[in-house]
Amino acid sequence: MEGGGRPSAAQAALLAASTALTALLYSVYRQKSRVARGLEGARRVRLDGDLRAVLLEAPGRCVPYAVIEGSVVRSVKETLSSQFVENCKGVVQRLTLQEHKMVWNRTTHLWNDYEKIIHQRTNTTPFDLVPQEDGTGVTVRVMKPLDAAELSLETVYEKFHPSVQSFTDVIGHYISGERPKGIQETEQMLKVGTALTGVGELVLDNATIKLQPPKQGMPYYLSAMDFDSLLQKQESNVRFWKILTVIFGFATCAVLFFILRKQYRHHRERRHLKQMQDEFRQAQERLMREMNAEGGETLKNACVICLSNTKSCVFLECGHVCSCTECYRALPEPKRCPICRQAISRVVPLYNS
C-alpha cells in the first residue's frame, strides 16, 4: 500500500487487468452459451417428401433455424476434380501451399517452428443435399458453403517438399536466424457423396428449397458430424469457457479482497494511533490542571506515558523524545514509539543540564 492507504500502482494494474480479462471471458462464455442454446432449439426437419409442405405452412415459407440431417452431397453442375488424385470428385476444393521453417528466438535462445501460408485457393461449385434414401425427388440447394462453420473438408493429398541447402546456405541461415525446412502442399475437398448435417435458415424460394446463413446472427453449420455430436461439441465449449470465467473471477475477487484487507488494516492502525494520541493529550491536560490547582510547578518535560518522570531517551529512527527510561523498558515487544508507532531500532540517552 502507498501512503494514505491507497493501493500501489502494481496492485491497481493487476486488479484492472484481472477484471478486464474476466469480463472478456464472460463475454465469450455468454456468446458460446447463446450459440449452444440456439442450436439446441433449432427445428429438426426431415429431408423427405413432406419438406415442401412444411415450408409452405411456415410463416414466410421460411424456418429461421433448421437442421437437415442425414443427407449426401450431389453436384448441380460439373463437379471439381482433384489435381492429384484420380477419380476424386468434389464440390469444394481448397489448395494450400504452406512454408515451414525454424526461427531463432533471441530471448529464449531456442529454434522455434514457424508456419506461413504462401498461397491458398478455394474453388466451389453449386451443390444440393439429397436424402440418403434417394427416390423422393426432394433436394436442398446449399448457399454460401464457405460461410459455414465446421465445414468438413477431407484432406485428399498432402506432400512435404524439403528444401535443399548447401553448406553456404546453412551458414547464412544461422547468421540470419532463419532455417527453411520446406514447402507443404495440401489439397482438401468436400467430396461428392459425403454425409452432411446442415444447420441454417431453410427457405422455399419459388420451386427451390435453399439452406443459407441465418439472419439472426446464429452460426451456419455444414458438418460431417451428426446433430447430437455437433451439439455436444458446442456444449463442451460452453463448459470450457465457463470454467475459465469462474477461475479468473475468483482470482479477481482474491485481488480485490487483498487490497480491501490492506486498506482496512491501514485504517485500523491510523484510528488506533489517533486514539492513543488523544488519550496522551487528555492525560497531559488533566495533569496540568491538577498541578495548577495545587499551586505546583508544571512539569514541562514530563514523560508522555507516566507523566511523572522527565523525558530521558531519544527513539531512533523516528527521533521522538517522549519517554523516560523506565517507561521505555516497560514497553511491550516489539517496542514501538508511542507517538508514531514506528519500530524502535535503538535508544540514545538524553541528558538535561
Same structural domain, 67 and 209: yes
Give the integer Cα–Cα distance in Å for 82 and 123: 11
Give the pLDDT score at 241: 94
Same structural domain, 335 and 214: no
Examine residue 46 and state whether it is found in any structural domain, yes or no: yes
Same structural domain, 96 and 209: yes
Chosen domain end from 225, 244, 271: 225
Examine residue 97 and state whether it is found in any structural domain, yes or no: yes
Examine residue 167 and state whether it is found in any structural domain, yes or no: yes
Same structural domain, 190 and 327: no
Angle between helices 9-40 and 227-293 (to 10 degrees): 150
Examine residue 251 and state whether it is found in any structural domain, yes or no: no
Chosen domain end from 225, 245, 276: 225
**What value does the CA radius of gyration of the chain take, rounded to a whole number of Å?**
40
Give the pLDDT score at 296: 44
Structural domain count of the chain: 2
| Domain span including residue 320 | 313-349
Chosen domain end from 184, 200, 225: 225
Same structural domain, 83 and 200: yes
Examine residue 253 and state whether it is found in any structural domain, yes or no: no
Examine residue 70 and state whether it is found in any structural domain, yes or no: yes
For residues 198 and 65, the answer to whether their CB atoms sit within 8 Å is: no
Give the pLDDT score at 4: 52
Examine residue 37 and state whether it is found in any structural domain, yes or no: no
Q: Could you list the pLDDT tens digit for every one of the 353 residues in the chain?
A: 455 556 778 888 888 999 999 999 999 999 999 989 989 889 999 888 888 888 888 898 999 999 988 777 777 778 889 999 988 999 999 999 999 999 988 888 888 999 999 999 999 988 888 887 765 678 899 999 999 988 889 999 999 999 888 888 888 888 888 888 999 999 999 998 888 899 999 999 888 899 999 987 789 999 988 889 999 999 999 999 999 999 999 999 999 999 889 888 888 888 888 888 887 778 777 767 766 665 444 456 778 888 777 888 888 888 888 888 888 888 888 888 888 888 888 888 877 65
Same structural domain, 325 and 207: no
**155, burial (CB in 10 Å: exposed 0-12, middle 13-18, buried 19+):** exposed
Give the pLDDT score at 298: 42
Same structural domain, 65 and 199: yes
Same structural domain, 104 and 213: yes
Examine residue 319 and state whether it is found in any structural domain, yes or no: yes
Give the pLDDT score at 295: 45
